[in-house]
Amino acid sequence: MKNSKTIFALLGWLSTQPHSGYELKNLTERYVGEFWYGSFGQIYPLLRQMLEEGLVTMHEERDTGHPPRKVYTITGAGRAAFERWMQEPPEEDLFRSELLLKLFFGHLAKPGALVEQVRAALDSARAKLTYYERLHAMLSEQYAGTPDLPFMLITLDRGMIVNRGYVEWAERTLETLKGIHPQEVRDEP
């Protein structure tokens, strides 16, 4: 697990204030979950490793909750590592889609087999879009004036543009499928 980039996501959160592993997992899921992830099974061992490497320090907080909360604080070495990473060119985006794989071989499918799947993708893209639009308004209000807001909006903006494209594509694809097997694709009864 030496070379996990998830380390830098954690250092990013810790740059502003100390956090426990539990918090780091939830922050990651909520704020960057659309383009980066890390399970507990990954994050806990990662934090121990970062501690050994001197990127963070740790102190326990044993108040009421029974497994004592382990709170991590970034060190100078941690900040240096984070800044170095920021300057490096990023890995290429990773994208994998089982739906597209099926569509590519669509001529081998029973007529209509893929229509429902595209329709489901369309629904989920539309749902994401409206969610993003609400989130945009919420964040703009809640983080107004803070230096991190514009950067949060940049990533959100990407989600919105891509999903708008996705909706457009799915609608067009349904039309195309309708043209190939006209009798199989009906509008909702």
The backbone region for 54, taken as left when phi is positive above 0, alpha when psi lies in -120 to 50, beta otherwise, is: left
Taking the C-alpha atoms of residue 12 and residue 75, their distance in angstroms, rounded to an integer, is: 12
Stretch that binds DNA, among 1-9, 81-89, 150-158, 179-187 (CB under 7 A): 1-9
Name the nearest CA neighbour of 79 among 170, 132, 175, 11: 11
Taking the C-alpha atoms of residue 122 and residue 128, their distance in angstroms, rounded to an integer, is: 10
Name the nearest CA neighbour of 43 among 68, 20, 69, 15: 20
Residue 64 or 183 having the CB closest to DNA: 64
Stretch that binds DNA, among 20-28, 122-130, 146-154, 168-176 (CB under 7 A): 20-28
CA dihedral 20, 138, 159, 95 (to 10 degrees): 20
Secondary structure of residue 85 in the 3-state scheme: helix
Establish if 102 lies at the interface with DNA (CB under 7 A): no
Residue in 22, 48, 49, 99 binding its own copies, rule: CB under 8 A: 99
According to CB under 8 A, which residues from 109 to 138 bind its own copies? 109-110, 113-114, 116-117, 120
Residue in 16, 64, 87, 183 binding DNA, rule: CB under 7 A: 64
Q: Which residues bind its own copies (CB under 8 A)?
A: 5, 8-9, 12, 15-16, 31-32, 34-37, 82-83, 85-87, 89-91, 93-110, 113-114, 116-117, 120, 147-148, 150-152, 154-155, 157-158, 161-162, 164-166, 168-169, 172-173, 176, 179-180
